Chain A
Amino acid sequence: MTLALPSGPAPAPRRQLLVGSALAGLAGTTLIGGMLAVWLLERQHAVDAGERFPMKYIIPEVATNVMLITLFGLCFFAQWAVYAARRQDRGHTGLALSVVIILGLAFVNAQAFVYSQMEVEIAEGIYGGLFYALTGTMMAIVIAGLIFTAVAAFRTLGGRDWQSEIVSANALYWYFAAVAYAAVWFVVYVTK
């Protein structure tokens, strides 16, 4: 005997992209958090063994500070994109997302500058491997954000249906990236 349930009301609007981005941000938080924890542990081991950490390298603090400011500034423009997208303002949404991409590229450029200035040898000592693994992972997170922003811009500006949720999800991702970099900046470049 098959008993059919009566039809229900229409489902509530889904926020899949936002929730998915939040979960991805949670995963990224534990990724960076775990890597920072290992960094601190290895630094403690090095210091206990009487070694200098980060050995002979001089950190270009202006560049690293500007990277931090860039990411938080980027969040401002990502939020502007959300504001504009909710009002279906195509021009300002496109402008804001473009600035987000430019600032993201500026972050990558600044990281490359830090690499070239510090000239850390990856195979020399404990520091090299840890430094490139952690900062490289952070840069990968930013590059993933750039791809996400490009997709969001394409779907928002070029799609048939106006979608503001993906812009909100994109902003959420950048908030996560900014907080993650703030932690990396503090541990790697400030307390060293």
Chain B
Amino acid sequence: MTTLEQSGTGAGAGSKLLSDGRIGTAVGAAADWVTSTDHKKIGRLFTGFGILGMIAVSLIAALRSLESVADLGAFNAQQLDQLAQLHHFGLALMVALPLTLGLSIAVAPLQVGARAIAFARLALMGFYTWLAGAVLTIVAIVNGGGISGADSDMVDLFLAAMALMMFGVIASAISVATTILTSRAPGVTMRRVPFLTWTALVQSLALIITAPVVVGLIIYLFVDHRNSALAFGAADGLADWLPRFFTAPVVYIFAIPALGVFAELLPVSMSRRHPMRQLVFTGAALVGVASFAGVTMQKAFPVDFSESGQDVLKSLVVMAFFVGLPLLGIAITLLTSLLVAKPDGSGAPKPRILSPLLFGLLSILLLLLGAVVGVLTQIVDFELSGTAAVEGTVALVCLAAALGTLGGLVFWAPKFSGNKPDEKKVLPLALLGALGVVLAGVPGVIAGLADSDNSLFSTLTLIGYALMALTGLAFVGATRGGTSDGTNNPWCAHTLEWSTACPAPADNYEALATVRSAEPELDQLPEGSPS
């Protein structure tokens, strides 16, 4: 009897697993991961679910576009609305935010020479609170909740779940910001902190300022909706108030660490010190100005050029502050970083094309594009408000942030797993991902500008999101394994975290190093290395 034989074999294998302790080891490893206060594991939990979110949200968006293109009739109006909400909120809260925040949690304490993240249990609680909120948000929307949901209880659950997610984000952001402000190693002054750490600080502070405003609003909406729905109204009220926090310019906050990844990697690739660090710091801080847009609870800062000159000037100043400064910040970060690539005739080593840098470069270029479109959506004459262009902007910014974070995960993989991913496998994913971001976001912008609902745009968007889902899946495969050269610094990088072992031990550093510059590892390298 084959079945019985197989059963017997299975039982034998199970006994063997039990006897050699492999099941116990697996359970122990799983328990270690879910209860760990090691910031590297907490950060990777965030980024792991962020990648899962990217794949899921991309598939949902692709499904929406497929329905639009092929007119399958598989979904009724309410279901299409539910998919749209999962897509919209998912891009910001389940893709961009967990990825960038997770990277900050995993890397920033290492970069500043801290042995642990401040309030590690708070950071872990933040992750689980965010995760519970994300799961409950999905459950609520799928069961008829969401902004315009028909089931009143599920709408309440949706609001409570959103507040839960925000609480988790605030908790983790406080943990990151406190670490950077208080746990720097001797010599790591604020002027010397690495770019990713600086952008992590800016993002954390922006979240600490902005997210509570969302929580306050959700408390009002929840109490009002649960009882009378008189102050804010039912579906209309929710639709009017809530989405403003998850569109441009507030979504720029979710993308700030992606700027840090690029600024961090270019000097490594060029084997040079960054000549204008303070300007990069300024650029990243300017993007943080977007947080004030969140605090003001305004969804638009419109400029109407058909008005009188004085009125145009007034609205231009307001728009320039809230929307123009983040754009300027991204541009400053990009341009000043590119100065590193300018030949200076000093006989510096030959530049290296690093795969994470390609992720970072494409990410910042797409962020710049998203920010430019974000400015255009504020100009009334373009008539982009309420069109597919707004959704396209959010897609560009959030997916570009995700792309940059993927580059960061490749770069710092040796500190997490001990192995450097195979660059030949990873490099094409940067191009595939960038193509996906462009196709997912730009057709919507063009459709908005052209005031057209041509199915070609939906087809391109469908392809874009399918490519993003493919990128996410392929990334998981490509970053498994890899090789180790046995050194602490396989990229010949410049910052402090590369002085510790690969993978970094649970308490990060055996001994605190002396830091006398922003590039302590570069100080140690012989002239002319590493190329």
* Chain A contact residues, CB within 8 Å of chain B: 1-12, 14-16, 19-20, 23-24, 26-28, 30-35, 37-38, 42, 122-126, 128-130, 132-133, 136-137
22 pairs across A/B with beta carbons < 8 Å?
A1-B487, A3-B525, A5-B521, A8-B513, A11-B185, A12-B186, A19-B177, A19-B178, A19-B181, A20-B119, A23-B178, A26-B208, A27-B211, A30-B209, A30-B295, A31-B216, A34-B295, A38-B216, A122-B223, A129-B224, A129-B228, A130-B224
- Which residue from chain A places its CB closest to the CB of B511 in the assembled complex? A7
Chain A residues, CB < 8 A from B230: 125-126, 129
Nearest CB in chain A: distance from B200 CB, A:
14
A16 lies within 8 A of B174 (CB): no
Contacts of B185 in A (CB 8 A): 8, 11
Query: In the complex, which residue of chain A has the Cβ closest to the Cβ of B210?
Result: A30
Give Cα A3 to B208, complex, Å. 38
Cβ contacts under 8 Å, B297 to chain A: 34, 37-38
Q: Is the CB of B220 within 8 A of A23?
A: no
Contact across chains for A38 and B515 when beta carbons are under 8 A apart: no
Partner of A20, one of B174, B217, B220: B174
- A4 nearest CB neighbor, chain B only: B499
Residue of B nearest to A13 (CB): B182
In whole angstroms, how far apart are the Cα atoms of A80 and B231 in the complex?
43
> Does B183 sit within 8 A of A, measured CB to CB?
yes
Q: Cα distance A26–B513 when bound, in Å?
A: 33
B213 at the interface (CB under 8 A from A): yes
Interface centre among A2, A8, A10, A137 (most CB of B within 10 A): A8
Determine whether B514 belongs to the interface, using a CB cutoff of 8 Å to chain A: yes
**Contact yes or no, B227 A129, CB < 8 A:** yes
- A38–B181 alpha-carbon span in the complex (Å): 32
Mostly, the B contact residues are helix
- Residues of chain A contacted by B208 (CB below 8 angstroms): 23, 26-27, 30
In the complex, the answer to whether A122 meets B227 with C-beta atoms within 8 Å is yes
Interface hub of B227, B231, B496 (most chain A Cβ within 10 A): B231
B48 CB within 8 Å of chain A: no
A35 contacts across to B, CB distance below 8 A: 216-217, 219-220
B212 engages A28 (CB within 8 Å): yes
Residue from A23, A124, A130 with most neighbouring chain B CB atoms (10 Å): A23
Please name all residues of chain A whose beta carbon is closer than 8 Å to the beta carbon of B488 when the two chains form the complex. 2
Please, which residue of chain B has its CB at the minimum distance from the CB of A126? Answer: B231
Known A-B contacts A23-B208, A30-B212, A34-B295; the reply to A129 vs B231 at CB < 8 A is yes
B489: CB under 8 A from chain A? yes
Query: B182 is contacted by which of A4, A7, A16, A136 (Cβ under 8 Å)?
Result: A16
Task: Check: B310 CB closer than 8 A to any chain A CB.
Answer: no
Question: 1/0 per position for B281-296, CB-CB distance to A under 8 A?
Answer: 0000000000000010
**Interchain CB contact under 8 A, B215 and A31:** yes
B524: shortest Cβ distance to chain A, in Å? 4
The verdict on B187 contacting chain A, using a C-beta distance below 8 Å, is: yes
Q: Contacts A3-B524, A34-B295; is A27 near B186 (CB within 8 Å)?
A: no
Contact residues in B for A2 (Cβ distance below 8 Å): 487-489
Closest chain A residue, CB of each to CB of B212 = A31
A residues in contact with B174, CB < 8 Å = 20, 23-24, 27
Would you call B520 an interface residue if the criterion is a C-beta within 8 Å of the partner chain's C-beta atoms?
Answer: yes
Given A27-B211, A137-B216: A123 in contact with B513 (beta carbons within 8 A): no
| Interface pair A8/B223, CB less than 8 Å apart | no
Q: How far apart sit A126 and B228, CA to CA, in the bound complex (Å)?
A: 8
Which of B119, B183, B186, B228 gathers the greatest number of chain A CB atoms within 10 Å?
B228
CB-defined contacts of A137 to chain B, threshold 8 Å: 216, 219
Q: How far is the CB of A178 from chain B (nearest CB, A)?
A: 18
Q: Is B23 an interface residue (CB 8 A)?
A: no
Interface centre among A30, A124, A128, A137 (most CB of B within 10 A): A30
Does B170 sit within 8 A of A, measured CB to CB? yes
Whole-angstrom distance between the Cβ of B123 and the nearest chain A Cβ: 11
* Contact residues in B for A37 (Cβ distance below 8 Å): 297
A3 / chain B contacts, CB cutoff of 8 Å: 489, 521, 524-525
How far in angstroms is the closest Cβ of chain B from A174?
18
Say which residue of B170, B210, B228 sits within 8 Å of A124 (CB atoms): B228
Please tell me if B426 contacts chain A, counting CB pairs below 8 Å: no
Instruction: Report B-chain residues with C-beta under 8 Å of the C-beta of A23.
Output: 174, 177-178, 208
Which of chain A's residues have a CB closer than 8 A to the CB of B231?
42, 126, 129-130
- B499 touching A5, Cβ below 8 Å: yes
Candidates A34, A122, A125; contact of B213 at CB < 8 Å: A34
Q: A32-B216, A33-B213, A136-B219 are in contact. List 10 more A-B contacts (CB 8 A).
A: A4-B499, A8-B187, A16-B183, A27-B174, A30-B208, A34-B297, A35-B220, A38-B217, A130-B224, A132-B223
Q: A7: which B residues are within 8 A, CB to CB?
A: 511-514
Instruction: Please report the C-alpha to C-alpha distance between residue A24 and residue B212 in the assembled complex, in whole angstroms.
Output: 10
Residues of the A chain whose Cβ atoms lie less than 8 Å from the Cβ of B410: none
Task: Assess whether B331 is interfacial by the CB under 8 Å rule.
Answer: no
Q: Quick one: closest A residue to B227, CB to CB?
A: A123
Q: What separation, in Å, do the CA atoms of A42 and B240 have in the docked complex? A: 14
Cα–Cα distance between A4 and B509 once the two chains are bound (Å):
12
Contacts of A12 in B (CB 8 A): 186
Q: Which residue of B lies closest to A26 (CB)?
A: B208
Q: How far is the CA of A129 from the CA of B221 in the complex (A)?
A: 9
| Cα–Cα distance between A136 and B213 once the two chains are bound (Å) | 16
Quick check: B223 and A129 within 8 Å, CB to CB?
yes
**Which residues of chain A have C-beta atoms less than 8 A from B521's C-beta?**
3, 5
Q: Is A26 touching B209 in the complex (CB atoms < 8 A)?
A: yes
- The smallest C-beta distance from B134 to any residue of chain A, in angstroms, reads 20
Instruction: Report the bound CA distance from A128 to B183 in whole Å.
Output: 45
Bits for B141-182, please: 1 = Cβ < 8 Å to A, else 0: 000000000000000000000000000001000110110011
Residues of A within 8 A of B513 (CB): 4-8
Q: Which residues of B contact A15 (CB under 8 A)?
A: 182
Which residues from chain A contact B227 at a C-beta distance below 8 Å?
122-123, 128-129
Q: Say whether B118 contacts A16, CB under 8 Å.
A: yes
